[in-house]
Structure 1
């Protein structure tokens, strides 16, 4: 086994997934405070995480969401709340395109970048326009 297959096998043996691993180069400076502010009331509205809305300590929020390990940010934290997830993960983007009359006729290709919440919002916005 080599490369990604080996990594996946080792993670599986350890009972982890790719996003559950610490991102050693990430710090709180890489986290978008606004993304957290937007997330908190949305989480409360869903009634799945009502206590988050009143929590002001981002470290505690990340602990509650299991986005920290030994005080360090996990990859999931960067993907969910990062200012520039692409700085850490080159494949942290979405490609959207509209096909014409054939599979080779790609019209209006779009590349969307940002954290997961930004991606979702931008993708919906693009679909609404087309």
Structure 2
């Protein structure tokens, strides 16, 4: 057995090896072996360490990569214990601390923009905001946000006449509803409290007096349609 695009050997575990797992998940899957040298020969892991790693590694994979179908299993050869981490190919692009990795040959690299975009397209989803959300219905959306949208649309002569559209028709026209479910973009645009659904979905504005001093800070919550008005009022003052 030798290292390939689907096989990687490591003598001991380090958290940075989550990058290899991420890269394999974004490629064709593979196996990461802990306790083997570069030639694939077992160097062994102490039995007490094996037990701890069998508990720690799955937790790190779930917490860091949100992968739940990775198998972590103990093996032995020549009287020495080692671990195999079996990584299946993932249907969605996987990231670690805001970066996505890809397995190319025997190396793991950060995905460039073109590779990341291509991976999203191959998996059937082009953008983060096109994913659907659960437990949010059209009735949960903010009517005032739709009124603002209609007003702004009527000011744009090139836009479709949306004054007579109900909210469902608007969402359909904007491709913000898929399979009867709202997309993240729909929540961001029209939900009264999008940060209740998508953590961190709010805007901060600060006035910098120097590189270190912020004299005034504003934190804005609400739909993007509402915030589009509030932001310019703050910037103007």
Query: TM tier, shorter chain?
Result: 0.7 to 0.9
In structure 2, what is the Cα distance between the partners aligned to 1:15 and 1:70?
14
Counterparts of 1:76-115 in structure 2 under 5 Å?
76-100=185-209, 102-115=210-223
TM (norm. structure 2) is 0.49
Residues 38-69 of structure 1: CA distance to partner in whole angstroms, max 9, x if unpaired?
A: 211321221232321222x2111111111111
Shift of 1:36: 0.5
Q: Identify the match of residue 162 of structure 2 among 24, 36, 52.
A: 52
Higher relative contact order (CA 8 A, sep 6+): 1
Confirm whether residue 68 of structure 1 aligns to residue 177 of structure 2.
Answer: yes
In structure 2, what is the Cα distance between the partners aligned to 1:96 and 1:106?
10
TM (norm. structure 1) is 0.85
Contact 2:138 2:168 in 1 (8 A): no
Q: Give the number of aligned pairs.
A: 127
Which structure's residues are more often strand, by fraction?
A: 2
In structure 1, what is the Cα distance between the partners aligned to 2:142 and 2:222?
10
Q: Identify the match of residue 134 of structure 2 among 10, 24, 38.
A: 24
In structure 2, what is the Cα distance between the partners aligned to 1:23 and 1:60?
19
Contact 2:148 2:225 in 1 (8 A): no
Counterparts in 2 of 1:88 and 1:125: CA distance versus 1, 3 Å: same
Which structure's residues are more often helix, by fraction?
A: 1
In structure 1, what is the Cα distance between the partners aligned to 2:200 and 2:159?
29
Shift of 1:11: 3.5
Shift of 1:123: 1.3
In structure 2, what is the Cα distance between the partners aligned to 1:94 and 1:34?
19
